[in-house]
Amino acid sequence: MAHALAEAIGCPAICRDEIKEGMVHAHEGEFEPGAGDPLTQRTFGVFFDVVRTLIVAGVTVVAEAAFQDARWRMGLEPVADVARLRIVQCHADPAVGRDRRRTAHEAGGRRAHARLIGDELEDWRRAYASFERLSLDAPSLDVDTTDEYRPGLDDIVAFVDRPA
């Protein structure tokens, strides 16, 4: 959805997973993804450095990552006074999330990312229930991506474009 939103607005999408995939591609030697692996740690800084650079330069940007509240706060609070933040938080049914991960791995994608959630549906339900969503003091919209976008892309763009 980040790329669709960025295209509709006319701005860049900065996606944490794409940055990490690029790091893995540039990495010499074997890479084994894991929780907190060295490339994951470097990715956090690179992601937020790029986002901050664009925001401070006056560029609208769609910043996309599956970070929990504390990680987002670390990266966004330093620019909150110069940015017109709009938070779009996506969620999907846990079974759909599990199936999407399985499909991506079977297709050979996501080689930079460890499998941190088990294969059982109950594993996904627990992970979703414990996820700490971003709660900055900024307008926020929840989008269900289980099937299509609900609300739809036009409504999401209208939310993002709405004046403060």
Report how many domains make up the chain: 1
Question: What is the average per-residue pLDDT within 29-52?
Answer: 86
Residue range 68-92: mean pLDDT, rounded: 95
Query: Among candidates 9, 79, 87, 91, which has minimal Cα distance to 47?
Result: 79
CATH of the domain at 67: 3.40.50.300
Domain that holds residue 95: 2-161
106-142 pLDDT tens trace: 776 656 766 778 889 999 999 999 999 999 999 999 9
Tokens of 125: 């339900």
Contacts 24+ apart (CB under 8 A), 30-36: 31/111, 31/112, 33/111, 33/112, 33/113, 33/114, 34/114, 35/114, 35/116
Residue 94 has pLDDT above 90, yes or no: yes
pLDDT recorded at residue 110: 59
Q: Which long-range contacts (CB under 8 A, 24 or more apart) does 80-86 make?
A: 80/136, 80/138, 82/55, 82/56, 83/55, 84/164, 85/136, 85/138, 85/139, 86/138, 86/139, 86/140, 86/141, 86/159, 86/160, 86/162
